[in-house]
Amino acid sequence: MNPTASSPSPTGALTLAQEKQVAAAAALRWVRDGMLLGLGTGSTSAQFIMQLGAAVQNGLKVQGTATSLASEALARQLGIPLIAPRRGLRFDLAVDGADELDGQLRLIKGGGGALLREKVLETASDYLVVIGDSSKLVPVLGRFPLPLEVVPFALPWVLDAVEALGGAPVVRMAQPGATDYYFSDQKNLLVDCHFGQILEPERLAAQLKTIPGIVEHGLFLGLAKAAIVVRDGAALVLRPGEAARPATEFDVLP
């Protein structure tokens, strides 16, 4: 699982919790009046939602839809206007964390259990920016186990199928050491799968799509248009095929 928020960052300058705040602040600069926003899930997204809430209290006019009940509750508590899913709804910008991202902005998501709503909402977004502390950018995906959202009835066969693909599946429990399962907001199970280094994420994603009972997998491929990660205490903007560059106050969405 991810390092804890109070862990020192690999670059040592800030704690990971402080890095999440820095990444969230850089993403907030991309938000403009009138935008419809997708709100992510997890500790980094919570930082973004809290900073967005403060901006809304200072007069920023946006509306959002959250990728989890937890993020929805946080946004509501902060006074961020929320919109329910409806036909034709598209978001100008979605801001979310990730468990891992590589240089092509391919992601593993779902450590917070919200991968299904995240994929739905981020597919309905014109622009997804991933925000992360310095632990999230990796050369090759796969150190973090790949989460799958699974219909409970299908669990035994999904476990067999994942093993047949060379994975080592672990059903997520409600708490470490608990005997009851973790359930998603949709009342499905989460299965965390160790595949070793995922050298061909597109191939694995296609294979997982053929397994009945897997509602969605945590590989997000071709969805993120940018990432904001923190290195040496500063936010860097990554875009596929471009050199990393410092985030600046002049950044706007392309």
Q: Quickly count: other Cβ atoms within 10 Å of residue 174's Cβ.
A: 11
Residue 98 annotated in ligand binding: yes
Question: What are the DSSP calls for 88-124, one per residue?
Answer: T--BSEEEE--SEE-TT--EE--TTS-HHHHHHHHHT
118 is catalytic: yes
| Nearest distance, CB of residue 247 and ligand 5RP, angstroms | 18
| Nearest distance, CB of residue 90 and ligand 5RP, angstroms | 21
**List 19, 72, 118, 122, catalytic entry:** 118
Between helix 43-57 and helix 69-77 the angle, nearest 10°, is 30
Binder among 21, 35, 36, 40 for ligand 5RP (CB under 6 A): 40
Dihedral sign (CA 54, 29, 138, 91): positive
Backbone angles phi, psi at 208, to 5 degrees: -65, -30
| Nearest distance, CB of residue 44 and ligand 5RP, angstroms | 3
Q: Specify the DSSP element, H or E, that contains 190.
A: strand 189-194
Residue 145 found at the interface with ligand 5RP (CB under 6 A): no
> 221's torsion region: left (phi>0), alpha (psi -120 to 50) or beta?
beta
| Nearest distance, CB of residue 55 and ligand 5RP, angstroms | 20
Residue nearer to ligand 5RP on the CB measure, 17 or 157 = 17
Residue 112 annotated in ligand binding: yes
Match 């500063």 to its residue by tokens.
234
Residue 43 found at the interface with ligand 5RP (CB under 6 A): yes
Please give the Cα distance from 131 to 236 (Å, whole number): 10
Backbone angles phi, psi at 159, to 5 degrees: -60, -45
Number of residues that bind ligand 5RP (CB under 6 A): 19
Residue 111 annotated in ligand binding: yes
Residues 79-138 within binding reach of ligand 5RP (CB under 6 A)? 96-99, 109-115, 118
Residue 38 found at the interface with ligand 5RP (CB under 6 A): no
Match 């067999």 to its residue by tokens.
160
Kindly give the pairing relationship between strand 226-231 and strand 128-132: parallel
Q: Find the part of the chain contacting ligand 5RP (CB under 6 A) among 42-50, 69-77, 78-86, 176-184.
A: 42-50
Residue 44 annotated in ligand binding: yes
- Binding-site residue positions for substrate: 41-44, 96-99, 109-112, 136
Residues that bind ligand 5RP (CB under 6 A): 2, 40-45, 96-99, 109-115, 118
User: Active-site residue numbers?
Assistant: 118
